[in-house]
Structure 1
Amino acid sequence: MPSPVYPKMYFSNDFTKNDFLQENFLEKIPSIAAEALANSDRVEALKDVIGDYLLPVVVRNLGWSETGINLAAKAVLVEMMEKGYVTQFQAEVKVCPAILALQNQLDVNTSAITLMSKFIRLLGKDIAERILMKRFIELCSSHLFYVRKLAAWQFGHYCAIVGSKVYEESLLPCYLALCEDDMWTVRKACAEVITFVSCVCPSELRKSLLAPAFGKLLRDKSKWVRISACQTLGGFIATFADPPSTKIAYDISGDLVLMNLEGDYFIQPPCKDGFSNVVTMEEAFMASSTEDGYLHYYDDLEKGACNEVTDLDSSELGGRPKSCVSNG
Structure 2
Amino acid sequence: MVYVSSGLSLYFEDGHDDLDDFGFDDYGSECDGIRITAFLDAGQDNLTPLGRLEKYAFSENVFNRQIVARGLLDVLREFSDNENDFISVMETVARMSEDGEPTVRAELMEQVPNIAMFLHENRPNFPEAFSRYLVPIVVRYLTDPNNQVRKTSQAALLVLLEQGLMSKADMEGKVCPVLLELTEPSSDDDYKIEAVAIMCKLVTMLTKDTVEHLLLLRFCELCSDVRLFQVRKVCAANFGEVCSIVGQEATEKLLMTKFFDLCSDSLWGIRKACAECFMVVSNCTSPEVRRSKLSPLFINLISDQSRWVRQAAFQSLGRFISTFANPSITGFQTEDADESVSESNGSTGSPTSDELSAMSELSLTDAQISDSPSSSPVLVDDSEHSSEVRGQFYS
TM-score by length of 2: 0.59
Cα drift, residue 13 of structure 1: 2.6
Which of the residues 139, 143, 161 maps onto 2:245? 161
1:127-154 Cα offsets, whole Å, 9 max, x none, are 1111111011101111123432332111
Structure 2 gaps, min length 5 = 1-82, 344-380
Higher RCO structure, 1 or 2 (CA under 8 Å, sep 6+): 1
Cα drift, residue 80 of structure 1: 2.3
Query: Please, which moves more after superposition, 99-108 or 120-129?
Result: 99-108
Which of the residues 154, 170, 179 maps onto 2:254? 170
Structure 2: how far apart are the matches of 1:178 and 1:209? 14
Equivalent pair of 2:322/2:341 in contact (CA under 8 Å): no
1:297-323 Cα offsets, whole Å, 9 max, x none, are 69xx9xxxx75599xxxxxxxxxxxxx
The percentage of aligned residue pairs carrying the same residue is 34
Structure 2: how far apart are the matches of 1:177 and 1:161? 21
Does 2:224 align with 1:141?
A: yes
Query: Please, which moves more after superposition, 57-66 or 122-131?
Result: 57-66
Mapping for residues 213-228 of structure 1, pairs under 5 Å = 213-228=297-312
Mapping for residues 187-226 of structure 1, pairs under 5 Å = 187-226=271-310
Q: How many residues align?
A: 266
Give the aligned CA root-mean-square deviation in angstroms: 3.2
Cα distance change of structure 1 residues 3 and 234 upon mapping to structure 2, 3 Å threshold: same
Structure 1: how far apart are the matches of 2:176 and 2:285? 27
Does 2:197 align with 1:117?
A: no
Cα drift, residue 218 of structure 1: 1.1
Cα drift, residue 58 of structure 1: 0.6
For 1:228, what is the secondary structure of its paired residue? helix
Cα distance change of structure 1 residues 79 and 146 upon mapping to structure 2, 3 Å threshold: closer
* Bigger Rg, structure 1 or 2: 2
Which of the residues 58, 70, 77 maps onto 2:138? 58
Query: Please, which moves more after superposition, 172-181 or 48-57?
Result: 172-181
- Which residue in 1 is equivalent to 2:210? 127
Mapping for residues 264-303 of structure 1, pairs under 5 Å = 293-294=383-384
Structure 2: how far apart are the matches of 1:164 and 1:183? 27
Structure 2: how far apart are the matches of 1:52 and 1:26? 16
Structure 1 gaps, min length 5 = 250-256, 263-290, 311-328
Equivalent pair of 2:243/2:251 in contact (CA under 8 Å): yes
Structure 1: how far apart are the matches of 2:162 and 2:237? 24
Mapping for residues 7-86 of structure 1, pairs under 5 Å = 7-15=89-97, 16-37=99-120, 41=124, 48-62=128-142, 64=144, 66-86=146-166
1:188-214 Cα offsets, whole Å, 9 max, x none, are 322222122122222222112111110
Which of the residues 76, 83, 88 maps onto 1:6? 88
- Which residue in 2 is equivalent to 1:152? 236
